[in-house]
Amino acid sequence: MAGRPRVGVLALQGDVREHARVLTELGADVSLVRRPTELSEVDGLVLPGGESSVIDKLARAFGMQEPVRAAIAGGMPMYGTCAGLILLADRITDGISGQETFGGLDVTVRRNAFGSQVDSFETDLAVPALGDPAVHAVFIRAPLVERVGPDVQALAALEDGRVVAVQRGALMGTSFHPEVTGEHRFHRRFLDIVRAA
């Protein structure tokens, strides 16, 4: 149905429930995706925050890596927060040995760029694509986008210019966690992308 996009949340590890709650509140039909058959039943996929290396290993164990890559290549909209952004990046500068990504976003990402859990912080970000007011962003062991490819749009950056939100076509990623702060505009933008696709 045009009004109720069918979206999945990759439910291998991480803050799955938080994303599912926000998407449901915004009017989406939400399902938890752990297997290729479940991926084939949705029109868009959210990759949640969590531990990117663990999600990578579980995606391979559950036979999800290649189906997700194929879905990205086929144009399925995806939105990754924190670890999800790392999983959408084409390159990681400090992944653990053997760590892989799904890819799709022509960006280079550094994991845990701001330090450990105790170095987590909050700040307000100007996001011109979302308009006013500023986005209150929570960074928890967050990654940083160190290089942005020519066809990738930087949606938000810290005051020092370091990029923390990006989009390329139907793929979007944020270093921070809007799903935990009551900030729904990124999820709304994602649902608009799903509807348009």
Of 52, 2, 7, 10, residue with least CA distance to 35: 10
Length reported for the chain:
197
Output the pLDDT for position 1.
Answer: 45
Output the pLDDT for position 118.
Answer: 63
The catalytic site residues sit at 82, 177, 179
Provide the residue-wise pLDDT of the chain in tens; the chain has 197 residues. 456 899 999 999 999 999 999 999 999 999 999 999 999 999 999 999 999 999 999 999 999 999 999 999 999 999 999 999 999 999 999 888 899 999 999 999 999 887 766 668 899 999 999 999 999 999 988 999 999 999 999 999 999 999 999 999 999 999 999 998 989 999 999 999 999 99
Of 48, 106, 47, 105, residue with least CA distance to 78: 47
User: Is CATH 3.90.1150.10 the right assignment for the domain spanning 6-196?
Assistant: no
pTM of the model: 0.95
Domain map (residue ranges) of the chain = 6-196
Output the pLDDT for position 94.
Answer: 86
Orientation angle between helical segments 16-25 and 185-196, nearest 10 degrees? 70
CA dihedral 93, 94, 96, 102 (to 10 degrees): -40
